Structure 1
Amino acid sequence: MPTTIAAWRAALEAGDAEAAGGCLAENAVFISPLTEKFRFHGREQITEVLRSAVEVFDDVRYHTEVGEGSTYALFFHCRVGAQAVEEAQLIRLDDAGLIGELTFFGRPLPALTETMLALGPRMLRRQGQPGLGRLIGFAVRPLAAMTRFGERRLVPLGDPNRRRRIDG
């Protein structure tokens, strides 16, 4: 495993955004699982995202790593509040062995909406836009509530392993 990948994993498991940021190339790009509308560019901007992320994600524990050369996929479990999260990270290293590109993917859907609810407003406050942060929180809160409800009450009804009552 390259030194950068080991350092990245250790930093995020320890909740150390600064150490994780040190694994990034100066011109790194971060592709978020929460929006396709923009990307985060550069070590400084991505480290700012990481500062918010380590405040939101608890108990980060990597469980799988695959890759070779300059491309790796890392997978971890964590929590956002009471919601279990599993995240996948596609990492591409640059010629210097630093992280040049990060693409994150997350599951299940309620975890993504909880992440958006916890992370978006926090990041916007850090950017000096607390009013927009409140607006985003207000807009996302119903979506997060609907996905939580659906996951708890509706989705189990479609479980193919659920015992069905057979009427005679």
Structure 2
Amino acid sequence: MGNLAAVTTASWRAAGESHDAELAAGCLADDVRVISPLTARFRFEGREQARDMLVAAFAVIDVIRYHTELGDESARALFFHGRCRGQEFEEAQLLRFDGEGRIVELTLFGRPLPGLTAVMAAIGPVLLKRQGRPVAARFIGAATAPLALMTRAGDKRIVPLAAPDRTDPRAKQTPERKE
């Protein structure tokens, strides 16, 4: 099976970098489970739900460039740099394979938070519109936009305050004690 997993992985990578949802869906087992980095409330179950998620993801993620691959014939970890709405992010994908070399489980992990929330704010409305739920799409878009804005602003203005090499100009030097 090692060769089958390698062939599937190569196709999966090519599909991601070319934003080809049909090629990506062809790498999936019929009963695939996709575990999102954005919620533990539900999973995408089956090839059709996963394909719809991939179509939405490829519609909002501007760039996908894989840089690292680790694993064997039963599981592989892939890592890529991406961009969504101008926000850079990195995603790790854990792929588990069935006996035919198809992806039976896909677990996604993302960082940093501004990039992850940009994906969340963008993908939800696209996915809901594809499902024929335009009111829910508008609601999710309105609900997630402030979170994406806050994480972008916080990453630029607040998080740097905690940088380990930052010195606080307000800190006073403690005078040496004379004994």
* TM-score, normalization by structure 2: 0.90
**Partners of 1:142 and 1:54 in 2: how far apart?**
23
Identity %: 54
* TM-score, normalization by structure 1: 0.96
Name the amino acid aligned to 1:116.
M
1:19-168 → structure 2 map (5 Å cutoff):
19-165=23-169, 167-168=172-173
Name the amino acid aligned to 1:153.
R
Are residues 1:14 and 2:18 paired? yes
Please, which runs of 5 or more residues in structure 1 have no aligned partner?
none
SS for the counterpart of 1:58 is strand
1:55-81 alpha-carbon deviations (Å, 9 max, x no partner):
111221001110012111000001001
C-alpha deviation, 1:162, in angstroms: 2.2
SS for the counterpart of 1:2 is helix
RMSD: 1.1
Paired residue total: 168
Please, which runs of 5 or more residues in structure 2 have no aligned partner?
174-179
| Larger radius of gyration between Structure 1 and Structure 2 | 2
**Partners of 2:158 and 2:45 in 1: how far apart?**
39
